Amino acid sequence: MLCDSHCHLADERVRSDLAGVLERAAAAEVGPIIAVGAIGTIETDRATVAIAEHHDGVFAAIGVHPHDAAACDKSRLNELRALARSRKVAAIGESGLDFHYMRSPIEAQEIAFRRHLELAAALDLPIVIHCRDAEARLVEIVREIEMPPAGGVIHCFTGDAEAARSFLTLGFHISFSGIVTFRNAATLRAVVPMVPDDRLMVETDAPYLAPEPYRGKRNEPAYLRRTLEAVAALRGNEPAALSEIVTNNAIRLFRLTTR
């Protein structure tokens, strides 16, 4: 099997075709699946947890996306805490900093990110981090607050070699998406062999970021095989061996055998 460490099953484009999406994932031997809520309102997190509870092999991450950081107030955090009582909730996130799109003011993003680090530590869950064009600042904040004891992953890593080294030193896992298959991603491809075997994951981030040759289409977990093959080629691994490595890493980080 091959774990999709990050996708958005509650997104309308996926949810409207959920049975088909999960069937094609199973046929491609993609699973377990970490379904991330976080985008939009608390309803997205609720729907994501409900999907996880209804499907074996699907687990949830809940939080407030940096795009929506201003909505990360006390009541939202309390709602997340209540949702996290589900055994199928395996992580907090995605949270972090996005200075590329800058859909929320920096200050709101930083406050929300600190609260997510604290929440992950309090609930003893790993954190799923979203970071775009904000690597240095994100590292500073994690150093101040401390890494959640259960660890975490930088999802859809898009930084350079220096950023990768900083994240690895802090103890993070690094997850690569379909971007590694894009023609203009040479800098990112150079980072792929740097990540030690025991810190590596892959993801679709569906419905976003479909790998080549599906680029521009709605992404889904079944397409993860393309990304795995690209990552394996860059590292000089056999895809089957690498599939086992990244899946075991996800099982360990998200403690899936206990859920």
Write down the least CB distance from residue 87 to Zn ion, Å: 22
Write down the least CB distance from residue 257 to Zn ion, Å: 24
User: How many residues bind to Zn ion according to rule CB under 5 A?
Assistant: 3
Task: Pick the closer one to Zn ion by CB: 128 or 237.
Answer: 128
Coil, helix or strand at residue 258: helix
Q: Tokens 């959920």 belong to which residue? A: 18
Q: Note whether 116 binds Zn ion by CB under 5 A.
A: no
Write down the least CB distance from residue 197 to Zn ion, Å: 24
CB-based contact 31:57 (threshold 8 Å): yes
Task: Pick the closer one to Zn ion by CB: 156 or 195.
Answer: 156
Write down the least CB distance from residue 42 to Zn ion, Å: 16
**E strand intervals along 85-219:** 89-98, 127-132, 152-155, 173-176, 200-202
Write down the least CB distance from residue 46 to Zn ion, Å: 17
CB-based contact 192:180 (threshold 8 Å): yes
Task: Pick the closer one to Zn ion by CB: 25 or 237.
Answer: 25
Q: Which residue, 90, 94, 46, 47, is CA-closest to 68?
A: 94
Determine the interface stretch with Zn ion among 20-28, 79-87, 200-208, 249-257 (rule: CB under 5 A).
Answer: 200-208
Residue 165 CB-half CA count within 13 A:
4
Q: Note whether 130 binds Zn ion by CB under 5 A.
A: yes
Coil, helix or strand at residue 27: helix
Determine the interface stretch with Zn ion among 94-102, 118-126, 180-188, 220-228 (rule: CB under 5 A).
Answer: 94-102
Rounded to whole angstroms, how far apart are CA atoms 125 and 141? 18
Task: Pick the closer one to Zn ion by CB: 110 or 205.
Answer: 205
Task: Pick the closer one to Zn ion by CB: 69 or 237.
Answer: 69
Minimal CB distance to Zn ion: which residue?
Answer: 130
Task: Pick the closer one to Zn ion by CB: 83 or 154.
Answer: 154
**E strand intervals along the chain:** 2-7, 30-36, 58-62, 89-98, 127-132, 152-155, 173-176, 200-202
Write down the least CB distance from residue 237 to Zn ion, Å: 25
Write down the least CB distance from residue 39 to Zn ion, Å: 7
Rounded to whole angstroms, how far apart are CA atoms 238 and 259? 30
Rounded to whole angstroms, how far apart are CA atoms 120 and 113? 11
Task: Pick the closer one to Zn ion by CB: 215 or 235.
Answer: 215
Determine the interface stretch with Zn ion among 40-48, 93-101, 176-184, 189-197 (rule: CB under 5 A).
Answer: 93-101
Rounded to whole angstroms, how far apart are CA atoms 135 and 254? 23
In the region spanning residues 201 to 220, those forming contacts with Zn ion, defined by CB under 5 A, are 205
Judged by the rule CB under 5 A, the positions of this chain that interact with Zn ion are: 94, 130, 205
